[in-house]
Amino acid sequence: MSSILHILKKEVITVFRNKRTLIFMLAFPLVLMLVLGSALSNAFDKTVSVGEIHVLYKNDLNKDAAPYFHTFQQYAEKSDIHFEKAGKNTDGLKEVKLGNADGYAVLNGHGIRLYTNGRNSIKGSILEGVFSAFADQYNLAAEVMKTAPEKSGAAFEKIKHNYIQTESLLPNKEPGAMDYYAIVITTMICLYASLGSSAFMQVERTRKTADRLIAAPVRKSSIFIGKLFADVLIYTACIALIIIVSKVVYKANWGNHLPLVFLVLLTEIILSVSIGIGVSIFSKSAATGAILNLFIQLSAFFGGAYFKIENPGKLQAVMDLSPLTWINQAITKIIYNNVLSAATPVAAANLGIALLILFISVTALQKREGL
């Protein structure tokens, strides 16, 4: 046990002395979050700006109904619906067709006729809803006036509120730009642990210390476990710092179940370290880093680390091959939908694959004479 702790301590000290590694693992993801989260914020903005609505109208209502329409105009303008009385020589229909007005309303004793420009269906739908509300309110007041004229004004009390009010049934259920990139950049950096741990044995071979380790009274399993735990500990600490900074400084939303989210990330780190160690043991080629870099970049691209892929279509099958796809989806479900069960299959898959790789690696290492 003491030999494992000595190797673990030595690995941790070696990594934290390497300033380039620390800068890459801490500064790089935080800068990338800030750049992508700020530059692509509009891509995550689900708000639709309607702008001002311009309505021409012709008012032929009688003197009893005219005050109600005047009150309606006053409160509709609070929702940026602006009315302009059509002149005698103004062709309201033509103005709407030319796009100079969003709607043309003709009001008389027979009702309301509303003409809208089909090229802007959103504004047209708003006008239809607003005038429909006014017509219903006016009809109610007309019926009240027949039986109790003194109470007709009460029928128009609702006019004192804005005509357009919106309320989301599922507020804040989707991540904003910074929230999204806080998740996907963090999971991508977890995958970079494979690149760091690929130096599992390469460093010892390069420094010519592999033979000295074998000659020392230390079992190969102790060397393996010590280096494995050291890598997991180092990258877990880095990811914890990234989460804290993104939450405190960038105000990224990590939800109300952060321990569970962190558990999923921990299993990803174990998977990544296992991949790096496996590659290190089975490959002595200088191309090891290039192979892992290619794997990480493809996983990041198809896992949505650089931009959100919506409606992937035929790309979905390729995206599902990226571990970041299922990890990001699970974390998003935990944070925004409170689906805690989403963590179980992903964590189990990460650990299952990691254990398989480690078992094969240990078996191969034990059969070897050296490291």
SS3 of the chain: CHHHHHHHHHHHHHHHHCHHHHHHHHHHHHHHHHHHHHHCHHHHCCCCCCCCEEEEEEECCCCCCHHHHHHHHHHHHHHCEEEEECCCCCCHHHHHHCCCCCEEEEEECCEEEEEECCCCHHHHHHHHHHHHHHHHHHHHHHHHHHHCHHHHHHHHHHHHCCCCCCCCCCCCCCCCHHHHHHHHHHHHHHHCHHHHHCCCCHHHHHCCCHHHHHHCCCCHHHHHHHHHHHHHHHHHHHHHHHHHHHHHCCCCCCCCCHHHHHHHHHHHHHHHHHHHHHHHHHCCCCCHHHHHHHHHHHHHHHCCCCCCCCCCHHHHHHHCCCHHHHHHHHHHHHHHHCCHHHHHHHHHHHHHHHHHHHHHHHHHHHHCCCC
Residue 8 in tokens: 């673990």
Query: What pLDDT score does 138 carry?
Result: 67
Quote the percentage of the chain above a pLDDT of 90.
21
| Higher-scoring residue by pLDDT: 17, 325 | 325
- Inter-residue contact 262 to 243 (CB < 8 Å): yes
Coil, strand or helix at 81: strand
Question: 53-160 adopts what CATH topology?
Answer: D-Maltodextrin-Binding Protein; domain 2 (3.40.190)
Count of CA atoms in the C-beta half-sphere (13 A) of 231? 29
Non-local (6+) Cβ contacts of 342 within 8 A are 329, 330, 333, 334
**Greater model confidence, 214 or 175:** 175
Q: Is there a contact between 56 and 95 (Cβ–Cβ < 8 Å)?
A: yes
Q: Kindly indicate the confidence band of residue 269, based on its pLDDT and cuts at 50, 70 and 90.
A: very high
pLDDT per residue as tens digits for the range 21-67? 777 778 889 998 988 888 877 666 555 556 788 888 888 876 766 77
CA–CA gap between residue 330 and residue 283 (Å, rounded): 32
Q: Which of 209-213, 224-228, 339-343 has the highest mean pLDDT?
A: 339-343
Order the strands of the 81-85 sheet from edge to edge.
Answer: 81-85, 53-59, 103-108, 111-116
* Res 154: pLDDT: 54
Higher pLDDT, 316 or 161: 316
Residue of 247, 229, 253 lying closest to 337 (CA atoms): 253
What are residue 113's DSSP bridge partners? 106
Residue 70 Cα to chain centre, angstroms:
46
- What ranges do the domains of the chain cover? 2-45+175-367, 53-160
